[in-house]
Amino acid sequence: MGELSAVRPGTDLSRHARELVRVHDAVLGGRSAPARPRAVVARSWSRVLRTGLDPDGANARDPHPREEVERRRRESPLHLIVGELAQVIQHVALLVVTDADGVILWRVGGPAVLRRADTLGFGEGATWTESTVGTNAIGTALVEAAPVQLFSAEHFEQAQHAWYCSAHPIHDPRTGELLGIVDVSGPALTLHPAIAALVETGVRLAESRLWRHHAARLDRLRRSAEHVVSTATGPLLVVDDHGWVAHHAGVAVRDRIAVPRADTALAVPGLGLCLPERLAEGWIVRPAGPAAGIRASLDRTGAPVLSVAGEDSLWRAPLTRRHAEILTLLHAAGPQGLSAGRLSRALYGDDAHVVTVRAEVSRLRKAIGALVATGPYRLAPGVSWEVVGAAGPLPEV
């Protein structure tokens, strides 16, 4: 297992723990150490020392209130697989599952080990990151973006030296997004070299189960939308709230499109510009209308407002003056659009604000959707635009 494993098979755990205490005290005390800590531990200790945490004290845990923990549980996809994880990893001392912020959402273990964990503040709602509790497998795995196992005095806080911890990140199998950390902890002298492999196996099985839950949800959405799809004409998609495609007709698409939002234009390859329509459990996405497309009017006579009319819908979005200025410049530029550099020169007079321009356009696209296209920045084709009340001549671009 390489550096992931904190001990080698056959290691005398009591002796190794004593050696690590000497290394811990020497390194954190600024003295010459009898041995080097493992690289992952040295990196973490260096980070934690810069935070000013006390290795000999009880650093504040400040757990979240129960209602916040419950909210995070409901919103985490991991609630679907915690029970199955516990079944896979049922012969170890303590199973802990956190979210991507390092907040402990679930613990599974016997009464004795749970009481011992409580004395460390290792309870539901606690934030178990390096900046809060020092070097620990959960927090260090978050920083390193990799599995981490720690034994005894590899932990920063002296109070944690009686423990081992073996943590493994768990990701959304659809997107690769970090969902949280799965950790197994117990008394240090009970650590077995196979624990890290057991945790990894549990995580892989859990990620596979998450994928099966995803496929089942799309199947339910597809069945629930049958009455709409059966009466519709023309190309369309049925997607969930995250843009995953449950059904498509008349258009070939990948597994996912951009996330739909009510009354916000969406560009879909093969369909063009669309205005998503809400279903009971997802969205139907189809072209916005006939060849005339969507009509957009930017009113700058007062506080800027964008009005967008589709075949059967009308919505308005207030804009910042900067966003109104960007739309006005793109309208003037025509189909060829503007690069980030040219927009920077138009807005700020030089090329030094390209990063700012990209951030502003990103925020604008979040506000009005795919009405602004990229590469280069331009107004989406198929939209009829007018700008009312643009003050003064436009700058050269």
Task: Taking residues 209-220, report their average pLDDT.
Answer: 94
What are the pLDDT digits (tens) for 52-96?
999 987 777 789 999 999 999 999 999 999 998 888 876 778 999
Domain annotation covers residue 320? yes
- Asked if residue 92 and residue 12 are part of one domain, the reply reads yes
- Asked if residue 270 and residue 320 are part of one domain, the reply reads no
- Angle, helices 137-144 vs 39-49, to 10°: value is 100
- Asked if residue 177 and residue 95 are part of one domain, the reply reads yes
User: Does the pLDDT value for residue 392 go beyond 80?
Assistant: no
User: Does the pLDDT value for residue 227 go beyond 90?
Assistant: no
| Confidence (pLDDT) at 255 | 85
What are the pLDDT digits (tens) for 137-193?
999 999 999 999 999 999 999 999 999 999 999 999 988 899 999 999 999 999 998
CATH code for the domain in which residue 362 is found: 1.10.10.10
Task: Taking residues 378-388, report their average pLDDT.
Answer: 83
- Asked if residue 322 and residue 272 are part of one domain, the reply reads no
Domain annotation covers residue 221? no
User: Does the pLDDT value for residue 396 go beyond 70?
Assistant: no
> How would residue 3 be classed by pLDDT, with cut points 50, 70 and 90?
low
| Confidence (pLDDT) at 366 | 77
| Confidence (pLDDT) at 390 | 65
Its domain, for residue 380, covers 294-388
Last residue of a domain, one of 249, 266, 285: 285
User: Does the pLDDT value for residue 110 go beyond 70?
Assistant: yes
| Confidence (pLDDT) at 234 | 84
pTM, rounded to two decimals: 0.70
Domain annotation covers residue 148? yes
- Asked if residue 362 and residue 339 are part of one domain, the reply reads yes
Domain annotation covers residue 228? no
> How much of the chain exceeds pLDDT 70, in percent?
93
User: Does the pLDDT value for residue 368 go beyond 80?
Assistant: no
- Asked if residue 116 and residue 36 are part of one domain, the reply reads yes
- Asked if residue 312 and residue 270 are part of one domain, the reply reads no
Domain count, the chain: 3
- Asked if residue 46 and residue 128 are part of one domain, the reply reads yes
- Asked if residue 56 and residue 39 are part of one domain, the reply reads yes
Domain annotation covers residue 115? yes
| Confidence (pLDDT) at 391 | 55
| Confidence (pLDDT) at 189 | 94
Last residue of a domain, one of 161, 189, 215: 215
> How would residue 271 be classed by pLDDT, with cut points 50, 70 and 90?
confident
| Confidence (pLDDT) at 68 | 97
User: Does the pLDDT value for residue 256 go beyond 90?
Assistant: no
| Confidence (pLDDT) at 258 | 80
Domain annotation covers residue 47? yes
Which residue did the predictor score with more confidence, 332 or 99? 99
| Confidence (pLDDT) at 1 | 40
CATH code for the domain in which residue 107 is found: 3.30.450.40
Domain annotation covers residue 330? yes
- Asked if residue 63 and residue 176 are part of one domain, the reply reads yes
- Asked if residue 190 and residue 302 are part of one domain, the reply reads no
> How would residue 393 be classed by pLDDT, with cut points 50, 70 and 90?
very low
- Asked if residue 341 and residue 304 are part of one domain, the reply reads yes
Last residue of a domain, one of 183, 215, 247: 215
Average pLDDT over all residues of the chain: 88
Domain annotation covers residue 222? no
User: Does the pLDDT value for residue 335 go beyond 90?
Assistant: no
